[in-house]
Amino acid sequence: MHISNDRTNLPCRLAKGLVPLMAIMALVFVAVGCGPTRAPEPTRKRVASAQSAAQEQGVFKLGILGPFTGPSESTGREFKGAATMAFDAINWQIGEYKIEPVWIDSQSDPDAAAEAYERAIVEEGIQAAILNWHSSVAVACMEVAAQYQIPHIFPYGATEVVNETFHSDPERYGYWMNKGWPVPEKLSISYVQAVQNAIAKGSWRPEEKTVAICGENTDWGLSFGASIKEQLEAEGWTTVAEEYFNLDEVQFYTMLNKFKARNVALIAVTTTSPLSFAAFINQADELGLESLIIADGLGWGGEWYEMTGTSSDYVIDQIPGWATAAGQDFATDFEARWGVAPSPSAAGLAYDGSNMFIQIAQNALAEHGELASETIYTWAREKLQTGAWSYTDGIVMEAYKYLPGTLPDPLVGQGYYMFPVRQYFDGEGKIIYPPEWAEQELQPRP
């Protein structure tokens, strides 16, 4: 994640801001900075050479992108553990090809991620990539994937900036093939519906429909904030505060005291940093806030309750669960092997994304007789992106289906990609929405 709102096409925007005296230089900068459709020929030859060397040895190099260091490194550990378990199950072998992982550390920073991603292509010779956590990293790395034509399967990065970029030139950006997380508005609406449902039933009676919006100052945080703000205001809520903070922020007393002074009925907050989220929840409890808190993503890390304890009681979140025997077995095996309870949103989805890639690669090899960037891209474009094939062996969702009308997002809805809304009590999330899944009604703070 990064602090600025959006670094997409930054060189282009900088060029537009130059003074008229430098207009000619600006035009040159735009022509170069907006990026060619392919890497320069010497670099392409270097990449092809590295990939060919691996092919000759019967090796397929796969980039695995995640925040392995930095403020979200606990999520990176879940990524690494889940991917390792998926590929261990096939002995890191697809047909005659040995799968060799190249772990690409995003560091939760888009610039560092793009540099590491390009290095993995040019120096390591990766032929495809999987996964990714942060939205701003997705925005940066999809440019690199497009430039070098590397198919990237199941990157999270939910922001609508990814979708807008994808649709601006599907031929160029279609290598960022299928997101593992839809745009925020497709999921945040469930919070709004859950809250409205509780008010209609009388299980929650706020004095006023006032809300404070806050989150990390990144593509993800800003996207979530804008989406839920618009959805709540459409239902008659008044936004009395909107604030964004650094990804590594852990001091929230000033912000929370403002919310308390305004007697805010509802707080909607999100961050992808477990430490930051724990600090927010603990300090809200310490200050005695009576607001109902939507903490989108609190449960994304497996250690969230260890960091918050009962301060998280009554908080609502939207995460999947281990609803199947296969999911429960995975969670048990993961904890036994790695010593930490996995989150369905981090380890669970990463496991499904890894296994999705395995099936795509197996199908591409069977159909084209070769495992390579081109065969994976071709098969996924013709089968995955058209909806002709879906991944249905997951442990988190019933089916991961992509259609021309949803790309690059998955199809959202019951039976496909869907998160229930849960309210936490003693570290357990009880489903409160949708009604057909509900285990109990929403309960306000006492």
pLDDT of residue 21: 33
Domain shared by 188 and 174, yes or no: no
Residues 278 and 423 in one domain: yes
- 175-233 per-position pLDDT tens digit: 999 999 999 999 999 999 999 999 999 999 999 999 999 999 999 999 999 999 999 99
pLDDT at 28 over 90: no
Confidence (pLDDT) at 57: 74
Question: Has residue 426 been placed in a domain?
Answer: yes
Amino acid 29: pLDDT = 35
My answer on whether 275 and 296 are in the same domain is yes
CB contact at 8 A, 123 and 208:
no
Close Cβ partners of 136 (under 8 Å, ≥ 6 residues apart):
1, 2, 7, 110, 157, 159, 218, 219, 220
Quote the mean pLDDT of the chain. Answer: 90
Q: Are residues 317 and 245 in the same domain?
A: yes
Residue 439 lies in a domain: no
Q: Say what the pLDDT of residue 45 is.
A: 61
Q: What pLDDT is recorded for position 189?
A: 96
pLDDT at 401 over 50: yes
In a domain, 43, yes or no: no
Q: Specify the pLDDT at position 414.
A: 87
**Same domain, residue pair 176 and 189:** no
Task: Kindly state whether residues 61 and 90 are assigned to the same domain.
Answer: yes
Query: Are residues 223 and 295 located together in one domain of the fold?
Result: yes
Is residue 9 situated within a structural domain?
yes
Burial category of 161 from C-beta neighbours within 10 Å (exposed 0-12, middle 13-18, buried 19 and up): buried
Q: Residue 105: its pLDDT value, please?
A: 98
pLDDT digits (tens, 9 = 90+) for 250-293: 999 999 999 999 999 999 999 999 999 999 999 999 999 999 99
In a domain, 332, yes or no: no
Instruction: In whole angstroms, give the CA distance from residue 205 to residue 212.
Output: 17
Are residues 294 and 258 located together in one domain of the fold?
A: yes
**Does residue 217 lie in a domain region?**
yes
Output 2 or 405, whichever has higher pLDDT: 405
pLDDT at 10: 34
Asked whether residue 425 is domain-assigned, the answer is yes
Least confident window among 11-25, 51-65, 298-312: 11-25
Tell me the mean pLDDT in the region 126-133.
98
Residues 203 and 290 in one domain: yes
* pLDDT for position 48: 66
Q: Is the same domain home to 73 and 129?
A: yes
What pLDDT band is residue 46 in, cutting at 50, 70 and 90? low
pLDDT over threshold 80, residue 19: no
Residue ranges making up the domain that contains 8: 1-35
- Quote the CA–CA distance of 265 and 259 in Å, as a whole number: 9
Q: What is the reported pLDDT for 3?
A: 34
Q: Are residues 149 and 283 in the same domain?
A: no
List the one residue out of 142, 134, 193 whose CA is nearest residue 421.
193
Task: Compute, in degrees rounded to 10, the torsion defined by CA atoms 31, 35, 41, 42.
Answer: 100
Q: Do 190 and 310 fall within a single domain? A: yes
Summarize the confidence of residues 47-69 as an average pLDDT.
Answer: 82
Task: Give the pLDDT confidence score for residue 35 in this predicted structure.
Answer: 40
In this model, does residue 367 exceed pLDDT 50?
Answer: yes
Residue-wise burial string across 258-284, b where 16 or more C-beta atoms lie within 10 A, e elsewhere: ebeeeebbbbbbbbbbbbbbbbbbbbb
Task: Examine residue 371 and state whether it is found in any structural domain, yes or no.
Answer: yes
Res 351: pLDDT? 98
Q: What's the pLDDT tens digit per position in 80-118?
A: 999 999 999 999 999 999 999 999 999 999 999 999 999
The pLDDT of residue 180 is 98
pLDDT tens digits for range 139-169: 999 999 999 999 999 999 999 999 999 999 9
pLDDT of residue 385: 98
Indicate the DSSP class of residue 342: P
Nearest residue to 32 (alpha-carbon basis) of 12, 8, 6, 7: 12
pLDDT of residue 302: 86
Which CATH number belongs to the domain containing residue 174 in this structure? Answer: 3.40.50.2300
Q: Please say if the pLDDT value at position 399 is more than 50.
A: yes
Tokens of 65: 């992108």
> How many structural domains does the chain have?
3
Q: Which tens digit of pLDDT belongs to each residue from 295-345? A: 999 999 889 999 999 999 999 999 998 988 999 999 999 999 999 999 999
Tell me the percentage of the chain whose pLDDT exceeds 90. 85
